[in-house]
């Protein structure tokens, strides 16, 4: 269909203030946080800002009738180009549709529209002593819709898991404009095994099956106390071994983070006053719960980890906890600043490997950095083997870009070879799709078949995930 006709129809449908169609405006929707869209930005045909299920249905029906691609978008903080109309198409910016419909505290759940910001939701829930545990680093900016679509998680996934564990039901507009409710049309219950689990299918489907318009989320009671231990290791292998020791002592910390040598150097270089000890690795354990159990678990971690670590410190006092955590909280920023004429790039940034192979993986990534002559900073959620790799290059130098892309490909293959995955939490999008067969074998084809059932015309966020 002709571009101008699409624009005209959308304006008629939604009103002028809910449609962007000027070329210049559309350019702003050619990127998300991925390195890919920095290299290859791609403008949509139009951007719309629906704020009701009916409006989303109308847009989908129109797209279906006219065979136009549609791409849902939250805050555009995804690292994979997931919300970009890479083949043109209509982008549905859902970030302005941000009502918290109902906080149902007695039933420990909350109903939200897709555009609610994660941090905002937890701020509101805190008034009821509740929280939604997955905690991505992008909490201040990302939307719950985006988190559902990417099955996002964060530092505390070790104990609290990913978004999928908290989604009780969804309202989804299908690519033909029909609307379905998963998890029971009227259900308000927490446990529910009736029917095929379409909720789980939708969570993590990255907007390729439908548009999520309403989310019923399970909330948990807020823990009352926290404590943090920082352990310093002279041998890299001791770090994952210490994590295992902690698990075997019967403790499930809320977070276990690693900074390897490269990250320690980056932090010290960026903020010398933090003065992290020189070491092969630093681990941070976070424990939460009720005050006596936190104290008990803290002392046990100190004892168990102390056997392998050069030193270990345990703190529950807020100021000291913040100081211990500061190195970790600025690592991503520090990585970006290790080279004055360069930047970190979000590529190959999210591999996940079995716990027992974390040390080997880190060594292999270091070797790849040396091979390509690229500075690489490593940190991540070691508690579940999710390693964040930050290559630091000049992204405007084509030579360096070419080299980093080759290295990133090797990192992805390394993850699969280590019996891991190319992505632990950020998702596949347009950047990791090529590994589908390698990661999933025959199942990859079945995934495509499932997509076809939902989206026979292939208009729903094409070119992503599978």
Ligand X SMILES: Cc1cc2nc3c(=O)[nH]c(=O)nc-3n(C[C@H](O)[C@H](O)[C@H](O)COP(=O)(O)OP(=O)(O)OC[C@H]3O[C@@H](n4cnc5c(N)ncnc54)[C@H](O)[C@@H]3O)c2cc1C
Contact positions toward other proteins, by CB under 8 A?
20, 22, 24-25, 27-29, 31-34, 37-38, 47, 49, 75-77, 93, 95-96, 117, 119, 138, 140-142, 332-333, 336-337, 340-346, 394-396
Determine if 147 is a binding residue for ligand X (CB under 6 A).
yes
Nearest distance in Å: CB 143, ligand X:
3
Q: Could you say which of other proteins, ligand X, none residue 333 binds, taking C-beta under 5 to 8 angstroms by partner kind?
A: other proteins
Nearest distance in Å: CB 257, ligand X:
11
Q: Could you say which of ligand X, other proteins, none residue 281 binds, taking C-beta under 5 to 8 angstroms by partner kind?
A: none
- Burial environment of residue 391 by CB neighbours within 10 A (0 to 12, 13 to 18, 19 or more): buried
Q: Which of 82, 204, 227, 289 binds ligand X (CB under 6 A)?
A: 82
How far apart CA 203 and CA 308 sit, in angstroms, is 39
- Burial environment of residue 246 by CB neighbours within 10 A (0 to 12, 13 to 18, 19 or more): buried
Nearest distance in Å: CB 141, other proteins:
4
Determine if 138 is a binding residue for ligand X (CB under 6 A).
yes
Write down the number of H helices and E strands in the chain.
17, 19
| Rounded (10°) CA dihedral 150, 322, 129, 197 | 20
Q: Could you say which of other proteins, ligand X, none residue 236 binds, taking C-beta under 5 to 8 angstroms by partner kind?
A: none
Strands (E), 335-374: 343-344, 351-352
How far apart CA 179 and CA 52 sit, in angstroms, is 12
To 5 degrees, how large is the angle CA 319–CA 387–CA 286?
A: 30
Nearer to ligand X, 262 or 386 (CB): 386
Nearer to other proteins, 31 or 372 (CB): 31
Beta-bridge mates of residue 286: 228, 255
Q: Which of 9, 75, 243, 351 binds ligand X (CB under 6 A)?
A: 75
Q: Could you say which of ligand X, other proteins, none residue 2 binds, taking C-beta under 5 to 8 angstroms by partner kind?
A: none
Binding positions for ligand X, 13-52, rule CB under 6 A = 32-33
Nearer to ligand X, 280 or 425 (CB): 425
How far apart CA 454 and CA 449 sit, in angstroms, is 9
- 């019923």: which residue's tokens? 216
Q: Could you say which of ligand X, other proteins, none residue 12 binds, taking C-beta under 5 to 8 angstroms by partner kind?
A: none
Is residue 288 classed as helix, strand or coil in its secondary structure? Answer: strand
Binding positions for ligand X, 154-213, rule CB under 6 A = 154, 206-207, 211-212
Nearer to ligand X, 60 or 94 (CB): 94
Nearer to other proteins, 33 or 254 (CB): 33
Nearer to other proteins, 115 or 183 (CB): 115
Q: Which stretch binds ligand X (CB under 6 A): 13-21, 139-147, 227-235, 314-322?
A: 139-147
Please, what's the b/e burial string for 194-217 (b: 16 or more CB within 10 A of its CB; e: otherwise)? Answer: eeeebbeebbbbbbbbbbbbbbbb
Nearest distance in Å: CB 4, other proteins:
18
Nearest distance in Å: CB 300, ligand X:
27
Nearer to other proteins, 349 or 410 (CB): 349
- 């990417």: which residue's tokens? 150
Determine if 349 is a binding residue for ligand X (CB under 6 A).
no
Q: Which stretch binds ligand X (CB under 6 A): 74-82, 303-311, 398-406, 408-416?
A: 74-82
Terminal C-alpha separation, the chain? 26
List all residues 6 or more positions away from 437 whose beta carbon is below 8 Å from its beta carbon: 444
Q: Phi, psi (5° rounding) for residue 76?
A: 65, 35
Phi-psi region of 266 (alpha: psi -120 to 50; beta: other; left: phi over 0): alpha
Q: Which of 44, 50, 78, 175 binds ligand X (CB under 6 A)?
A: 78
Nearest distance in Å: CB 272, other proteins:
16
How far apart CA 355 and CA 383 sit, in angstroms, is 7
Nearer to ligand X, 143 or 378 (CB): 143
Determine if 463 is a binding residue for ligand X (CB under 6 A).
no
How far apart CA 438 and CA 431 sit, in angstroms, is 15
Q: Could you say which of other proteins, ligand X, none residue 193 binds, taking C-beta under 5 to 8 angstroms by partner kind?
A: none
How far apart CA 410 and CA 19 sit, in angstroms, is 42
C-alpha distances in Å from residue 158, one per residue of 203, 247, 325, 461: 19, 11, 17, 31
Q: Which of 50, 74, 89, 383 binds ligand X (CB under 6 A)?
A: 74
Q: Which of 35, 58, 68, 76 binds ligand X (CB under 6 A)?
A: 76
CB 226, CB 321: distance < 8 Å: yes
Q: Which of 21, 153, 254, 343 binds ligand X (CB under 6 A)?
A: 153
Chain contacts with ligand X (rule: CB under 6 A):
32-33, 71-79, 82-83, 94, 114, 136-138, 142-143, 145-147, 149-150, 152-154, 206-207, 211-212, 425-426, 429, 461, 464
């Amino acid at each position: 269909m002709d571009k101008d006709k699409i624009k005209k129809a959308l304006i008629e449908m939604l009103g002028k203030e809910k449609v962007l169609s000027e070329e210049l405006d559309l350019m702003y929707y050619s990127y998300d946080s991925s390195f890919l869209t920095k290299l290859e930005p791609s403008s949509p045909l139009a951007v719309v800002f629906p704020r009701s299920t009916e409006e989303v249905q109308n847009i989908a029906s129109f797209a279906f009738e006219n065979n136009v691609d549609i791409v849902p978008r939250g805050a555009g903080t995804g690292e994979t180009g997931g919300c970009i109309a890479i083949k043109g198409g209509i982008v549905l910016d859902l970030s302005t549709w941000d009502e918290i419909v109902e906080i149902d505290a007695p039933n420990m759940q909350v109903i939200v529209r897709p555009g609610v910001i994660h941090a905002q939701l937890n701020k509101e829930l805190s008034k009821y002593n509740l929280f939604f545990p997955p905690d991505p680093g992008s909490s201040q900016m990302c939307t719950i819709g985006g988190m559902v679509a990417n099955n996002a998680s964060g530092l505390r996934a070790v104990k609290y898991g990913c978004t999928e564990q908290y989604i009780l039901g969804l309202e989804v507009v299908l690519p033909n404009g029909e609307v379905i409710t998963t998890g029971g049309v009227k259900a308000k219950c927490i446990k529910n095994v009736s029917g095929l689990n379409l909720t789980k299918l939708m969570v993590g489907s990255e907007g390729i099956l439908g548009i999520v318009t309403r989310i019923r989320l399970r909330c948990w009671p807020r823990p009352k106390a926290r404590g943090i231990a920082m352990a310093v290791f002279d041998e890299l292998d001791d770090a994952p071994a210490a994590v295992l020791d902690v698990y075997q002592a019967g403790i499930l910390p809320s977070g276990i983070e690693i900074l390897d040598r490269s990250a320690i150097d980056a932090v010290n270089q960026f903020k010398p006053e933090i003065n992290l000890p020189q070491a092969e690795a630093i681990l941070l354990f976070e424990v939460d719960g009720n005050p006596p159990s936190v104290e008990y678990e803290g002392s046990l971690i100190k004892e168990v980890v102390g056997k392998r670590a050069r030193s270990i410190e345990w703190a529950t006092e807020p100021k000291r906890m913040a100081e211990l955590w500061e190195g970790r909280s600025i690592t991503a920023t520090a990585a970006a600043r290790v080279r004055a004429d360069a930047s970190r790039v979000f590529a190959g940034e999210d591999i996940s490997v079995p716990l027992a192979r974390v040390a080997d993986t880190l060594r292999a990534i270091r070797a790849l950095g040396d091979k390509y002559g690229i500075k690489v900073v490593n940190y991540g959620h070691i508690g579940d083997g999710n390693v964040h790799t930050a290559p630091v290059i000049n992204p405007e130098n084509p030579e360096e870009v070419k080299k980093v892309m080759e290295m990133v490909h090797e990192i992805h293959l390394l993850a699969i070879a280590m019996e891991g995955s190319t992505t632990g939490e950020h998702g596949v999008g347009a950047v990791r799709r090529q590994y589908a067969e390698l990661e999933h074998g025959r199942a990859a084809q079945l995934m495509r078949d499932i997509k076809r059932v939902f989206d026979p015309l292939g208009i729903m966020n094409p070119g992503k995930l599978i």
